[in-house]
């Protein structure tokens, strides 16, 4: 029997869905509960698939089930099949009504609160029936977002580009270069200084993200360029809201992306210092899965990203 006949006549999408659920749940009984069916029906679907392909797809023991090498290969293809079907359904819905649907975007909490929020605001005014699902992870867990994209749980990523984008699974489109500034609260006495050398800020109470973050790497590069050691921060936190709150006291100093000053509703509380040492810029762009067709709604979101990025460039 030819491969096309085996797929068309003997393999059912329902059985493939059952296999994916069993592996995700870790056991036949749990999968049966999730699918609201009997365990015998689950076993029958798995048996039909194994008969269709002539290989064992699952290893079973007392702890549950795990996919074999053949099972993992089928699961990988199954994920793509169901994603393509979902995209097809989305395309049909778009043809029926191009203003309805869901766009799933992966990004960091910071970009979600600034650039991505600006894009959502712009598009939601034009297309109020579109749903925007934002999946976030901190820069410390950037790999999580890429896994979400690889598993097709999100349609695209909006992310800072760190290092070279060499992974052949992804396509990258640059949107804008994110600049950084040394920032204090409006009450800080340093606001009155016109020109400040970076060395004069060494003993200030710094509030900085962890060393693995993009902002920390930008700061380290700037201090090295001035022949200085990296300052010992008084507070280490990934959360932008905490840093803004501490700056508002008038005592602390930090580094922020210029996007905060553009998009944050709390911008009056932040003042950029006139520091002689310029900080480097970091590209921000769109990451998509290579060879994956984007839905019309995703194309619409990408177009919105380009529009907001052009405003930033101006």
- Residue 265: what pLDDT? 56
Residue 106 pairs in a beta bridge with 135, 157
Number of H helices, E strands in the chain: 12, 12
Q: Could you say which of 1.10.3660.10, 2.60.130.10, 3.40.50.1860, 1.10.10.10 is the CATH number of the domain covering 3-78?
A: 1.10.10.10
Q: Is the dihedral of CA 152, 156, 160, 162 positive or negative?
A: positive
- Residue 140: what pLDDT? 55
- Residue 17: what pLDDT? 84
Report the C-alpha gap between 201 and 186 in whole angstroms. Answer: 17
Q: How many CB atoms lie within 10 A of CB 241?
A: 12
Residues of the chain with CATH 3.40.190.10: 97-177+283-313
Q: Could you say which of 3.60.21.10, 3.40.190.10, 3.20.20.70, 3.90.1150.10 is the CATH number of the domain covering 97-177+283-313?
A: 3.40.190.10
Residue 134 pairs in a beta bridge with 105
Residue 104 pairs in a beta bridge with 133
Helix H or strand E encompassing 288: strand 282-289
Report the C-alpha gap between 192 and 301 in whole angstroms. Answer: 42
- Residue 1: what pLDDT? 47
Structure tokens at 166: 């060499």
Q: Could you say which of 3.30.70.980, 3.40.1260.10, 3.50.50.60, 3.40.190.290 is the CATH number of the domain covering 180-280?
A: 3.40.190.290
Report the C-alpha gap between 162 and 214 in whole angstroms. Answer: 8
Residues of the chain with CATH 3.40.190.290: 180-280
Residue 292 CB contacts under 8 Å (≥ 6 apart), including other chains: 83, 152
Q: Are the C-beta atoms of 237 and 207 separated by less than 8 Å?
A: yes
Give me the count of residues in the chain.
314
Say whether 254 sits in a helix, a strand or coil. Answer: strand
- Residue 234: what pLDDT? 94
Q: How far is CA 266 from CA 113, 204, 235, 269, 270, in A?
A: 12, 23, 20, 6, 7
Report the C-alpha gap between 176 and 306 in whole angstroms. Answer: 9
- Residue 92: what pLDDT? 75
- Residue 167: what pLDDT? 73
Say whether 140 sits in a helix, a strand or coil. Answer: helix
pLDDT tens for the chain, 314 residues long, are 455 555 555 677 888 888 888 888 888 888 888 888 888 888 888 888 888 888 888 888 877 888 888 888 888 887 777 777 777 777 777 666 767 788 999 998 888 988 999 999 999 999 998 999 999 987 656 678 888 999 889 999 999 876 545 678 899 999 998 888 899 999 999 999 888 999 999 999 999 988 878 888 888 888 888 889 888 899 999 888 898 899 999 999 999 888 777 776 556 678 889 887 778 888 899 999 988 888 888 999 999 999 999 987 76
């Amino acid at each position: 029997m030819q491969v096309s006949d085996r797929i068309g006549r003997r393999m059912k999408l329902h059985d493939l869905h059952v296999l994916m659920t069993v592996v995700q749940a870790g056991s036949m009984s749990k999968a049966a509960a999730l699918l609201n069916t009997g365990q015998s029906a689950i076993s029958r679907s798995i048996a039909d698939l194994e008969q269709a392909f002539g290989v064992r797809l699952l290893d079973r023991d007392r702890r549950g089930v795990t996919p074999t090498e053949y099972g993992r290969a089928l699961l990988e293809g199954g994920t793509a099949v169901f994603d393509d079907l979902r995209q097809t359904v989305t395309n049909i819905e778009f043809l029926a009504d191009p203003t309805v649907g869901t766009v799933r975007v992966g990004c960091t909490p910071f970009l979600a609160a600034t650039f991505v929020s600006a894009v959502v605001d712009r598009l939601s005014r034009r297309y109020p029936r579109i749903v925007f699902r934002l999946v976030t992870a901190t820069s410390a867990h950037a790999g999580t977002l890429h896994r979400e994209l690889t598993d097709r749980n999100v349609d695209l990523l909006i992310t800072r580009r760190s290092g070279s984008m060499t992974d052949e699974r992804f396509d990258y489109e640059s949107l804008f270069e994110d600049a950084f500034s040394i920032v204090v609260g409006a009450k800080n006495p340093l606001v009155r200084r016109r020109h400040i050398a970076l060395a004069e800020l060494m003993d200030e109470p710094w509030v900085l993200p962890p060393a693995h973050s993009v902002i920390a790497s930008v700061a380290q590069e700037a201090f090295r360029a001035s022949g200085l050691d990296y300052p010992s921060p008084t507070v280490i936190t990934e959360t932008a809201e905490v840093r803004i709150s501490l700056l508002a006291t008038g005592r602390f100093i930090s580094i922020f992306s210029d996007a905060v000053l553009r998009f944050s509703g709390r911008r009056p509380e932040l003042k950029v210092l006139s520091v002689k040492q310029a900080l480097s810029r970091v590209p921000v762009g769109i990451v998509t899965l290579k060879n994956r067709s984007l839905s019309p709604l995703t194309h619409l979101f990408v177009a919105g990203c380009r529009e907001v990025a052009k405003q930033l460039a101006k």
